[in-house]
Amino acid sequence: MAWEIIYRRFLIKKHNSLIGLFLFVNFSCFGQTLLDSVIFKYPDGTISSSGFMLNGEPEGYWRNYYQNGLLKSEGNRKNHQLDSLWKFYSQSGALTRTVNYKKGYKNGYRLSYNHDTIIIKEELFLNDTLQRLRKFHQNGKLKYILPFKNGKKNGYAFEFDTAGVEKIWWNYKNNQSEKYVINRFDAQGKRSGKWMTFHDNILQTEVGYSRGVKHGVEKIFNKKGDLKQINKYEKGVLITDVNNIKVIDQKKTFSKNGIIHKSGGFNERGQPHGVHRVFNDKGEVESSKVFKNGILESEGIVKKSGEKDGFWIYYYSSGEKLSEGFYRNNKKYGEWNYYYKNGYLESEGIYGSDGKEDGLWKEYNENGTLREETHFSNGLYDGTFKAYNDSGVIVIQGNYIEDYEDGEWLYHIGDHTEYGTYIDGLKSGEWKSYYNKKQLVFKGNFQNGLPVGKHLYWYENGNLKRVGEYISGRREGEWLYYSKKGSLLMVVEYNNGLEKSYNGYSIDPAHEMDDYIEYEQTGYRWLD
Quote the pLDDT of residue 519.
35
The reply to whether 178 and 128 lie within a common domain is: yes
| Domain presence at residue 528 | no
Q: Judge whether residue 274 has pLDDT over 60.
A: yes
Residue 514 DSSP symbol: G
SS (H, E, C) 254-301: ECCCCCEEEEEEECCCCCEEEEEEEECCCCCEEEEEEEECCEEEEEEE
Residue 116 Rama label (left phi>0; alpha psi -120 to 50; beta): alpha
Q: Is the pLDDT of residue 33 over 60?
A: no
Q: Is the pLDDT of residue 51 over 90?
A: yes
Q: Are residues 64 and 75 in the same domain?
A: no
Higher pLDDT, 494 or 508: 494
Total tally of structural domains belonging to the chain: 2
- Indicate if the pLDDT at residue 524 is higher than 50: no
The answer on 87 and 7 residing in a single domain is no
Binning pLDDT at 50, 70 and 90, where does residue 323 land?
very high
Tell me how far apart the alpha carbons of residues 398 and 400 are, in angstroms, rounded to a whole number.
Answer: 7
One domain, residues 46 and 142: no
29 occurs within a structural domain: yes
On the question of pLDDT at 251 being above 80, the answer is no
The answer to whether the CB of 132 falls within 8 A of the CB of 142 is no
Over 80: is that where the pLDDT of 23 sits? no
Q: Which residue type is seen at 314?
A: Y
Q: How confident is the model at residue 226 (pLDDT cuts 50, 70, 90)?
A: low
Long-range contacts of the stretch 431-439 (C-beta < 8 A, 24+): 435/460, 436/460
Least confident among 12-21, 103-112, 163-172, 444-453: 12-21
Integer CA distances (angstroms), 374 to 363, 402, 418, 422, 455, in order: 8, 13, 20, 17, 32
**Mean per-residue pLDDT of the chain:** 82
The pLDDT of residue 380 is 94
* Residue 65 and residue 94 share a domain: no
Q: Which CATH number is 161's domain given? A: 3.90.930
* One domain for residues 162 and 135: yes
Specify if 310 maps to a domain. Answer: no
CB atoms within 10 A of CB 2: 7
Residue 90 lies in a domain: yes
Instruction: For residues 51 and 118, give the distance between their C-alpha atoms in angstroms, rounded to a whole number.
Output: 29
Q: Answer yes or no: are the C-beta atoms of 298 and 308 closer than 8 Å.
A: no
Q: What is the pLDDT of residue 154?
A: 74
Please identify, among 70, 87, 104, the residue that sits at the C-terminal boundary of a domain.
70
Predicted TM-score (pTM) of the model is: 0.50
Assign 185 a pLDDT band (cuts: 50, 70, 90). confident
Asked if the model's pLDDT at residue 304 lies above 80, the reply is no
Its domain, for residue 48, covers: 1-70
**Domain-embedded: residue 308:** no
Torsion of CA 397, 401, 402, 405, to 10 degrees: -50
* 317 within domain boundaries: no
| 38 in any annotated domain | yes
Domain check: are 15 and 102 in the same one?
no
Q: How do residues 64-79 score in pLDDT, each as one tens digit?
A: 999 999 999 999 999 8
Are residues 66 and 133 both part of a single domain?
no
- Measure the CA dihedral 510/513/516/521, to 10°: 130
Contact call for residues 499 and 477 (beta carbons, < 8 A) = no
Burial classification of residue 410, based on how many CB atoms lie within 10 Å of its CB (0-12 exposed, 13-18 middle, 19 or more buried) = middle
Per-residue pLDDT, 248: 42
Of the candidates 47, 70, 93, which is a domain's last residue? 70
> Which residues are registered as beta bridge partners of 111?
98, 122
The SS3 assignment for 363 reads strand
Same domain, 65 and 118: no
At 177, the pLDDT band (50, 70, 90 cuts) reads low
Task: Give the residue from 238, 273, 306 where a domain finishes.
Answer: 238
152 pLDDT above the threshold of 50: yes
